[in-house]
Amino acid sequence: MLDSLYIAATGMNAQQLNVDTISNNLANVNTNGFKRNRVTFADLMYREVTRGNQRPGVGSLNRYGVGVGVATTGKLFTAGDVKKTDQPLDVAIRGKGLFEVTLPDNSLAYTRGGSLQLDKDGVLTTAEGYQLNPAVRIPSDATAVTIEAGGRVLAQVPDETAPIEVGSLTLSDFVNTTALRPLGDNLYVPTEKSGDAVTAKPGEQGLGLLAQGFVEASNVTLVDEFVNLIVAQRAYEANSKAIQASDEMLGIINNLRR
């Protein structure tokens, strides 16, 4: 009886984390470049028990689980919808790959967010202010900026009839992208499970191409998340009912002496 209380409690804890994860997905449904989180579960270790009404040596050992635990929590890097913005510094990745950025401590991180802007020195940064790596500097007198699908960045400057190349954007990929560790601000850093970054030009080594004037929307699907939320809530309720049933049975046992 006490085991049933513990087992149901593990189910409630697991579903609470599931509801928290779904809530975070729903909160970021309009966050450009956001990748939805997913929780997977696994049954906990099994124990061998002996039932008193069984003859010794004849199937006397039974195995039963002791609840559920969280196996993994990770990001799903499926592509989100590409939205047209017509902003010259908005860049969407059509396919695999992430932009590499430099953090304030000079470490590297990776992002799918393509809403770029210029800092005070004319260097391309993310919307949060992190410089792209390699750095691309746009001349202060540039009148137009073109970002080609293959990553070349061209700027139209006075006294030049044709645009000049001012840099190039690259993309990075990982063996196991779902194992990247999120930092917030749509940033991710590698882990031992994700492997090291493989960097190349857009369109090479299986990487996607760039689309100027577009941004990638969140890959959260409202219908799916609401269905998952209902399922998680029902599972939580079922576990709470199991606790109530166990409590009532314990109450009956306690009242037998009266």
Tens of pLDDT along the chain (258 residues) come to: 578 888 999 999 999 999 999 999 999 999 998 999 999 998 887 766 655 555 555 555 576 778 898 888 888 999 899 999 989 999 999 999 999 999 999 999 999 999 999 999 999 999 999 999 999 999 989 999 999 999 999 999 998 889 999 999 999 999 999 889 999 889 999 999 999 999 999 999 999 999 999 999 999 999 999 999 999 999 999 999 999 998 888 888 888 766
What's the pLDDT at 66?
81
Residue 133 is classified by DSSP as S
What's the pLDDT at 155?
94
CA distance 21 to 220: 12
Q: In 3D, which of 231, 239, 238, 241 has the Cα closest to residue 19?
A: 231
User: CA distances (Å), 148 to each of 48, 96, 128, 192, 255, in order?
Assistant: 64, 17, 23, 33, 79
CA distance 84 to 82: 7
Other beta carbons less than 10 A from residue 174's beta carbon: 22
Q: How many helices (H) and strands (E) does the chain have?
A: 2, 20
Q: In 3D, which of 61, 17, 21 has the Cα closest to residue 38?
A: 21
CA distance 39 to 101: 28
CA distance 4 to 18: 21
